[in-house]
A and B are shown apart, each in its own frame.
Chain A
């Protein structure tokens, strides 16, 4: 199965709701809206033609400089046709919300808990949205870019000292 066929199928079923992001490594990357994401995931899994039955990963990335700060990234794999797809959803900060994918795959449970733990993304409808790797009484979301790993006063790693 080719990426173009997959994209065509998606656009056929969700007209004007799928935006392709060019990817240098031939992994079809689509940008979708938060309202449609569960429908699209359901379609990808349930469609007899596509059969994206294996949820590989859910994670997030934080772009503080963008208007929509948070990107939720789903990697899904059609084991039958041996093709992967990356679905991206951008969310508004600072309290991003997105419907849970646990209604489509049970395996999304811990992946979403991890994403919540590190980015503070609220997965609406998640059965057990608690922190998973960090301690329960932590009050920050450490993978957000505003939390520096090292002492922010350190200057020996600042780019401007290296002429860039």
Chain B
């Protein structure tokens, strides 16, 4: 006792600050924590406010899509891809359609390609709105989030006009689209191009030169390009480190090579750079949509799918009156169409990075093996190692800027 009292009254600290094992607390961040924006868990050891080490546990919403896909015909796999990155479902849908079209060697008309570009870029904007808006919320700026969220709502209205659904869109079909964009859809896309820039400008002004935001994000979770490549990063967070890898440029699909746009890159790879890269990508997406609208004008009107009756369902009214249409309908639905035996890897630039589909096909009705290369899954593995030594609040905004979508993480 006297030893304790002498320790308490002396100038020596009760706990040894230099001992890292002293007084560590285990803290669960997640699985249902507001900061994770999804269902996944991090068990961290903290010393005061600093993280000493962490372990990520994922798989809480694993739905075995790869297994299910082995039992489904191609057109029934599209709704599964919706549920990967549900913030930008159309990109996943299009990526899957293009994978199958690559397997079947279907040539897509230019107009359809441009329509797909529009849909994908709208989805990219919607996804970046979520990420950057919520990054703002996590740093304490709530109103910017609300401003841009309204525009995301408008993007969903456009999707609704195009395909009837908002979040899990199941947009398009193998070979094209299920229907042409109607006049209201075109009108709304044009309206979006007019109304979004001032909102984005305002949003930008709230953050870009905001001292609080800069101090919260600048230099936080900085990653070197070497580290990022070592961990197989892709997408905006890789570009924030200064590596100009964009699938749209390196392996163009959907005629992206015809579009004039820039790939923004950062320098330090910190949270601020990731914010800025995503922000600039939204401006570039607007440019791409504008160009796509111009290009569509020059293409023959009314073309919304390739002429591939073997794979593209005939109009329903013809199925009841036209023998040929009935046969094709039956063959497609029952999976009686011959398909080549091949392996395909197709990648698209998802909102979070390289979204790849690796399809092994043995000529049957469903894929022999389908693997999704999910950017969130690959990007997120660096989170726990890089959090060591970080403040909890910094780790939270780091997680936010990685934009990990639980659906894509777990598949």
Contact = CB atoms under 8 A, between A and B. Distances in A.
6 contacts: A57-B373, A105-B231, A107-B230, A108-B232, A132-B58, A143-B66
B378 interface: yes
Contacts of B343: 23, 25, 29, 86
A56 B356 contact: yes
Interface residues of B, number: 43
B71 A61 contact: no
Contacts of A82: 250-251
B378 A111 contact: yes
Contact of A133 (B250, B344, B411): B411
Most buried by B among A79, A105, A162: A79
Q: Is the interface of B mostly helix, strand, loop or mixed?
A: mixed
A132 B336 CA distance: 37
A31 interface: no
A61 B369 contact: yes
Contact of A54 (B102, B245, B344, B381): B245
Nearest to B381: A110
B335 to A, nearest CB: 8
Interface in A69-121: 73, 75, 79, 82, 84, 86, 105-111, 114, 118
B74 interface: no
Interface of A: 23-25, 27, 29, 53-57, 59, 61-62, 73, 75, 79, 82, 84, 86, 105-111, 114, 118, 131-135, 142-143, 149-150, 157, 162
Contact of B232 (A29, A86, A107): A107
A107 B347 CA distance: 18
Interface in B66-95: 66-68, 70-71
B128 to A, nearest CB: 23
A129 B44 CA distance: 20
Contact of A75 (B233, B345, B382): B345
B193 interface: no
Contact of B231 (A106, A134, A135): A106
A79 B377 CA distance: 20
Contacts of B325: none
A84 B345 contact: yes
